[in-house]
Amino acid sequence: MNLVAERNAIIDEAQMANAIRALAMDAVEAAKSGHPGMPMGMADAATVLFNRFVKIDPAQPNWPDRDRFVLSAGHGSMLLYALHHLLGFQDMSMDQLRRFRQFGSRTAGHPEFGHAAGIETTTGPLGQGIATAVGMAVAERMLNARFGGELVDHRTYVIAGDGCLMEGISHEAIDFAGHLGLGRLIVLWDDNQITIDGPTSLSTSLDQKARFAAAGWHVLAVDGHDRDAVAKAIADAQAEPRPSLIACRTIIGFGAPNKQGTSATHGAPLGKEEVAAARETLGWTHPPFEVPEAIVQAWRAIGARGTRARTEWQERLARSPQREEFVAHLAPPDAARLHAALADHRRRMRDEKPKIATRKASELALEVVNATIPNMVGGSADLTGSNNTRTKGMRPVTRSDFTGNYIHYGVREHGMAAAMNGISLHGGLRPYGGTFLAFADYCRPAIRLSALMGRSVIYVMTHDSIGLGEDGPTHQPVEHLASLRAIPNLNVFRPADAVEAAEAWELALTAAKTPSVLCLSRQDLPTLRRGNDDENMTLRGAYLLRDPGENRDLTLIATGSEVAIAVEAADKLSADGLKVAIVSAPCFELFAAQEAGYRSAVLGEAPRIGVEAAVALGWAEWLGPRSAFIGMEGFGASAPAGDLYSHFGITAERVAAEGWRLARKPGEERK
């Protein structure tokens, strides 16, 4: 509230807003592509938001206690870039705006996390921003509960469009935010009643305000061009314990006299004439990409306010008895400590040789992880007992108590994944969350963003094949391993036993900029790793679980639950006199990153058989000309797991028969 008093009074906010409008229409014009309508429509609200409320310091864009601003309607990226330029972000020069949407510029078509300072998250796929922001707001409350308001006391602001709120993910996010009472989350809805196809009335009749109210939100509605009304609404929202929606009734493309209020301004340049007419209408007489110094100074004053706040915060941090703990929360996990703890655990697993599902093995590893890393945040999309994601002593996060470390995300895979992105982007906490592997499809757009943004979010995905049995084909992933492996910068782990499961956890947690999916079995599997070597073999992606030495006759390559089948087949074939290598391949992405020499040594020259209870897509890369693949050719079926493995022919007998056929030398008879 006190920030309102501090508002910049040097210059009329109308001119500050027009600077955004001019930069947006000029940049889109220069790029010959882009979306001027939204920045022009929301320029007033955004100006008020930043001028009177937002706490950021362009000089230190990553200051932990800054407010977070998420442009969920990411196609309006020029709003963000114009703001950043005007606010004085060092890396957002006018030249960047001139090179909007050009190769190598920071000003990509949609805001890309990492391309420029202060872009809090990548947006563009609609609805992702608001759902990611929910995760940021959760992280803020959780860290506030741990460190108090002296160190953690900021808000998350979102600008969302009609598209964001039509997407299903918005429901998951809104419901979840309302449930947790995330009062620090304030969403400005650009209620311009226009989508690409035309007026929103073409496709929706929803009472958006009633919808948010139903989810437990505080709801306000204002004229989005009445700046004082917007300011009052934001101030009211700040005082509210519930999350707030501020419906800002706006005119899309505000200021473009012939096109405003229509979808024509949404996703195309206004055209030279209309830009000129808009200049006239807005009273903006300055040439393209020029902003008068007085207006620039007005914008820069906002940053100065932020710098003061940041300096004060740094002083509080320096004095805080929790300083070290706070800094440790923000840092990557202590890799050496984690390694030691998990190496210990792996030795224990090798000794005890448990026959357990890898989801259980994951839980055992996670017990060690959660005892070692203080800022883990677990959760599941309503499958806690099935995903084995909640370890001993974990306590749920609730609206009245954010000191816990486990989140009941509800039946909301997509919302969970986006929230995890938000928690990760916020910093200070390490999120992991579970669902069934088949339902990776439900959260795929958010998994993709984890990968695109390089956030090491961890997806715990159990029930990873027909091995889940009776639930049938809707729940049995067959194409999901391949489809996840197709996503760039995503490590797909499918551990074969309790040792590999622990190795995968270590790699997932120490990956700097790569998210991980742990694909885990429902069914019990034997511990296969032998020997006393403490090396994390999963780091290699694939390795010789059994090496028959020189002159091998056959190589069996398998992942996860099928490694045990390969071992059984190898035993049969060895009894028949063949020298069979077994390659366990828990992570093809890491294997592909190994040196060629290592890869060929592992794969060998002998005929190969790939075994994985999934479709063959992608396997040809690892199999040679004399090879076979034993897996799934179509969808699964509902039956006990053993019956399914038999029916689909994913058995040691079949692998052995195929191996014999491939490896036998002419004239040789089976023993």
Which of 162, 190, 497, 562 contacts its own copies by CB under 8 A?
162
Rounded to the nearest angstrom, the gap between the alpha carbon of residue 97 and the centroid of all alpha carbons in its chain is 27
Q: How far is the CB of 320 from its own copies (least distance, A)?
A: 33
Nearest to 133 by CA among 394, 529, 434, 449: 449
Contact between 27 and its own copies by CB under 8 A: the answer reads no
Q: How far is the CB of 509 from its own copies (least distance, A)?
A: 23
Q: Which of residues 385-404 bind its own copies (CB under 8 A)?
A: 385-386, 396, 399
Contact between 14 and its own copies by CB under 8 A: the answer reads no
Q: Which is nearer to its own copies, 229 or 449 (CB)?
A: 449
Report the phi/psi class of residue 116: left, alpha or beta, with left for phi > 0 and alpha for psi in -120 to 50.
Answer: beta
Nearest to 456 by CA among 506, 408, 502: 506
Contact between 427 and its own copies by CB under 8 A: the answer reads no
Using CB under 8 A as the criterion, what x/- string covers residues 184-203 for binding its own copies? Answer: -----------xxxx---xx
Distance CA 562, CA 647 (A): 15
Contact between 166 and its own copies by CB under 8 A: the answer reads yes
Report the phi/psi class of residue 459: left, alpha or beta, with left for phi > 0 and alpha for psi in -120 to 50.
Answer: beta
Q: How far is the CB of 603 from its own copies (least distance, A)?
A: 13
Contact between 275 and its own copies by CB under 8 A: the answer reads no
Annotated catalytic residue 621: no
Helix and strand numbers (H, E) in the chain are 25, 20
Contact in structure between 545 and 582 (CB atoms under 8 Å): yes
Q: Which of residues 107-136 bind its own copies (CB under 8 A)?
A: 108-110, 112, 122-126
Distance CA 61, CA 113 (A): 13
Using CB under 8 A as the criterion, what x/- string covers residues 78-107 for binding its own copies? Answer: -----------------------xxxxx--
Contact between 439 and its own copies by CB under 8 A: the answer reads yes
Q: Which of residues 466-495 bind its own copies (CB under 8 A)?
A: 469-475, 478-480, 482-483, 485-489
Q: Which is nearer to its own copies, 101 or 279 (CB)?
A: 101
Q: Within 60-195, where are the H helices?
A: 77-87, 94-98, 128-147, 162-166, 168-180
What six digits make up the tokens of 337? Answer: 């400590």
Which of 37, 303, 415, 610 contacts its own copies by CB under 8 A?
415
Please spell the DSSP secondary structure of 474-501, one letter per residue: TT--SSHHHHHHTSTT-EEE--SSHHHH
Strands (E) across 16-121 are located at 68-71
Residues 413, 562, 589, 612: which is the catalytic one? 413
Nearest to 528 by CA among 551, 506, 507, 503: 503
Contact between 322 and its own copies by CB under 8 A: the answer reads no
Q: Which of residues 599-658 bind its own copies (CB under 8 A)?
A: 615-618, 620-621, 624-625, 632-635, 637-640, 643-644, 647
Q: Which is nearer to its own copies, 239 or 620 (CB)?
A: 620
Q: Which is nearer to its own copies, 626 or 670 (CB)?
A: 626
Contact between 163 and its own copies by CB under 8 A: the answer reads yes
What is the three-class DSSP state of 10?
coil
Distance CA 53, CA 157 (A): 10
Q: How far is the CB of 41 from its own copies (least distance, A)?
A: 17
Q: How far is the CB of 283 from its own copies (least distance, A)?
A: 30
Just list the catalytic residues. Answer: 413
